[in-house]
Structure 1
């Protein structure tokens, strides 16, 4: 890939990141933005709220890269020391920017409040730095070249503020600096039903490509393949992506379910919407996770009617109509009970389809016959009801089992709807 000299680095600042209190989503987002711009990006670092360590890391980066993007530590509190430390790293005095202070005062006035004395330090920037305006918050960033060939860009750690500032000012500035070596385009393909190793075996030769590249990533119950291409222009890069994406879809068949931000829930809802059909759910072991996945999709209300969290057997009986004798004979974790739950939800709501889940999410409560990780998934619809027990394994966490159970239920509905739609299409005369 070449030397790191002249590349771009990301430095995230905050002790909360080191302690794991906050997920470092800013680094991931910035990395994606840099790739989209075609900028060489070789390193990411995290440093706590410590002046000396921050100074040392910035000085080290200044000898190695051309652009350093910093996030965090721009607020008014004592541990927000990024600006002061950067100025000290290059022996540069701080100066108050009247226009920044006026902007801070105006933003507080709009809230009917006055800024505190500590807010005033947010108007301090190193001499020679350019203000990077913050349209959503009070802490501005800066674009500063403290020495020839090295530029710092600073942003607050608040993701919404970072992203707004990036789009408005930073990205246009970076495009104009002659750093771009072409444009990157990428596409994420999502798959369900095969593990990462099994899926990789089917496309092993494509994983060896150099441009576009294909890289697998395992998720919770799914596998993602990211295709990335580089070319002089975005249309040319996307043109490189197209045949590889088509080949992946063809080889992996129904394992493929969506792209980018698609989810099993969003795909099922769209299929139901096209068919003019509705869905309800009945949940035991997932405790509402299936309904939550569906309602996380905007506009779900025109398809998803609702559901019942029937955790106790009394609720399974009273609301869903599961017979007491069935519960006694088969136990709550069984195909007959799962089917009765799905049919009860369908009857209760008047939906076209209903999904039901009952199982042992763990970590306790299992038995030799019904171990932790066993989940029965039922689907009731116009043509009848089916259920199957799926063993997800007792070594998984409760949260993992619940999340994957919901995803597997939706995947089964998706596959059935696709099959029915295809059959109906073939049966329709031209």
Structure 2
């Protein structure tokens, strides 16, 4: 058992697939960062007996159990009650917990109801795990020697705030870590996962640091992980490995960790003192949305036009009727005219334009679903190219890939000019 940890996520909605279990993923990353071995994850619905069984079984396997979900005021919020029953404890109202709940309700202008009061019930010797952003507190409780349970609500923002403020410091002090783990996520665009694996195949065989590939939404990633006796040492192990990978892959690696294609493009434009505007047809504003998701995007992103109808392409962007009639809306000629038009309209240094067939209908033999033309207009001229994405994964997939490909093409232009 050693210092191992397990994650238990509670909620019937998780079993039904109604929501994605992002909490387990985030907690797993946090445990890895702390250097705490994490050996098992489990999901249990809102069922008291099954939850009690899961808790007792975990107590026989691990040192720390982290639960999320089931801490609210409704009848299906059973976590605290089930934990007490599983380990033969009573529950009592904690005045400090109820006072915090009342204060939170007053701040939000919400009435105090009897159902909310049950959130203040905890085992007598449990340590309160405060919730700085919500009403449901958690607890840190050791019902048996060598076994501690930490409970969190299922709301991701509340869980993360509680983890950072109280749980992570407690876990660091508990001495559960087996070394310190450092991790680095390298992000790539423009190659398949199989191609990436082939280029770094020899590096995948290392034991410390390790390299693991992942496929994402249009991008591929390499997770670099090292373990050592200190944070400085573990990070030092990653540096030459990252340098080697970047040297092999060059500009195919667009960033690391929390970088996105949009954030990298914004930063490159900011460094150059330049701006960009977008003219979108098949993506319906996806490129603009990606750019404006970046904090400080207004430094470099001026705006855009969603020119879905040909009439808008003509009236707003200046695409000629002749161009549309001769080449069709999905063509290099129209994409170039759109990119040039939005650049002229906004005064941006760069114009990006996309026009294509996202499906599921509308395709022909000459212009099938998945065909997209991507154009860039910049200080040194303009260019456009048709790209074919697979239609098998549907309309949102084509739109997402088009957004990424358009941003990546601008990124590559900015790197060489």
Fold conserved (TM > 0.5)?
yes
Tell me by how many angstroms 1:20 deviates. 1.5
Q: Which residue, out of 339, 342, 350, partners 1:342?
A: 339
Q: Does 1:261 align with 2:263?
A: no
Tell me by how many angstroms 1:5 deviates. 5.4
Please list every run of 5 or more consecutive structure 2 residues that lacks an aligned counterpart in the other structure: none
Tell me by how many angstroms 1:179 deviates. 1.1
- Partners of 1:323 and 1:414 lie apart in 2 by 29
- Partners of 1:296 and 1:67 lie apart in 2 by 37
Q: Which residue, out of 289, 294, 314, partners 1:317?
A: 314
Say which SS state the counterpart of residue 222 (structure 2) adopts: strand
Partner of 1:103: 100
Q: Does 1:139 align with 2:123?
A: no
CA-based RMSD of the aligned residues comes to: 1.1
Q: Which residue, out of 400, 403, 408, partners 1:406?
A: 403
Asked whether the equivalents of residues 278 and 353 of structure 2 are also in contact (C-alpha less than 8 Å), the reply is yes
- Partners of 2:121 and 2:53 lie apart in 1 by 21
Q: Which residue, out of 189, 194, 198, partners 1:197?
A: 194
Residue by residue over 1:131-158, the C-alpha shift from the partner in whole angstroms, topping out at 9 and shown as x without a partner, is 1111211111111111111111101111
- Change in CA separation of 1:113 and 1:365 when aligned onto 2, cut-off 3 Å: closer
Q: Which residue, out of 412, 415, 418, partners 2:415?
A: 418
- Partners of 2:408 and 2:110 lie apart in 1 by 51
> For residues 169-248 of structure 1, what are the structure 2 equivalents within 5 Å?
169-248=166-245
Asked whether the equivalents of residues 334 and 389 of structure 1 are also in contact (C-alpha less than 8 Å), the reply is yes
Tell me by how many angstroms 1:6 deviates. 4.4
Say which SS state the counterpart of residue 201 (structure 2) adopts: coil
Asked whether the equivalents of residues 74 and 139 of structure 1 are also in contact (C-alpha less than 8 Å), the reply is yes
Tell me by how many angstroms 1:175 deviates. 1.3
Q: Does 1:127 align with 2:124?
A: yes
Aligned residue pair count: 417
- Partners of 1:383 and 1:103 lie apart in 2 by 61
Tell me by how many angstroms 1:128 deviates. 2.0
**Mean alpha-carbon deviation: is it higher for 172-181 or for 28-37?**
172-181
Asked whether the equivalents of residues 76 and 119 of structure 1 are also in contact (C-alpha less than 8 Å), the reply is yes
Partner of 1:424: none
Q: Does 1:35 align with 2:35?
A: no
Asked whether the equivalents of residues 192 and 255 of structure 1 are also in contact (C-alpha less than 8 Å), the reply is yes
Say which SS state the counterpart of residue 357 (structure 1) adopts: strand
Partner of 2:77: 80
- Partners of 1:111 and 1:412 lie apart in 2 by 46
- Partners of 1:6 and 1:241 lie apart in 2 by 25
Q: Does 1:26 align with 2:15?
A: no
Partner of 2:296: 299
Residue by residue over 1:294-347, the C-alpha shift from the partner in whole angstroms, topping out at 9 and shown as x without a partner, is 111111112111111010111111111111111111110011011011111111
Residue by residue over 1:244-291, the C-alpha shift from the partner in whole angstroms, topping out at 9 and shown as x without a partner, is 000000001110110111111111111111111111111100000011
Say which SS state the counterpart of residue 237 (structure 2) adopts: helix
Runs of 4+ in 1 over 4 A off after TM superposition: none
Q: Does 1:91 align with 2:102?
A: no
Asked whether the equivalents of residues 5 and 64 of structure 1 are also in contact (C-alpha less than 8 Å), the reply is no
- Partners of 1:90 and 1:116 lie apart in 2 by 29
Instruction: State the TM-score, normalized to the length of structure 2.
Output: 0.98
Asked whether the equivalents of residues 9 and 42 of structure 2 are also in contact (C-alpha less than 8 Å), the reply is yes
Please list every run of 5 or more consecutive structure 1 residues that lacks an aligned counterpart in the other structure: 421-430
Asked whether the equivalents of residues 6 and 64 of structure 1 are also in contact (C-alpha less than 8 Å), the reply is no
Q: Does 1:381 align with 2:378?
A: yes
Tell me by how many angstroms 1:114 deviates. 3.6
- Partners of 1:50 and 1:174 lie apart in 2 by 29
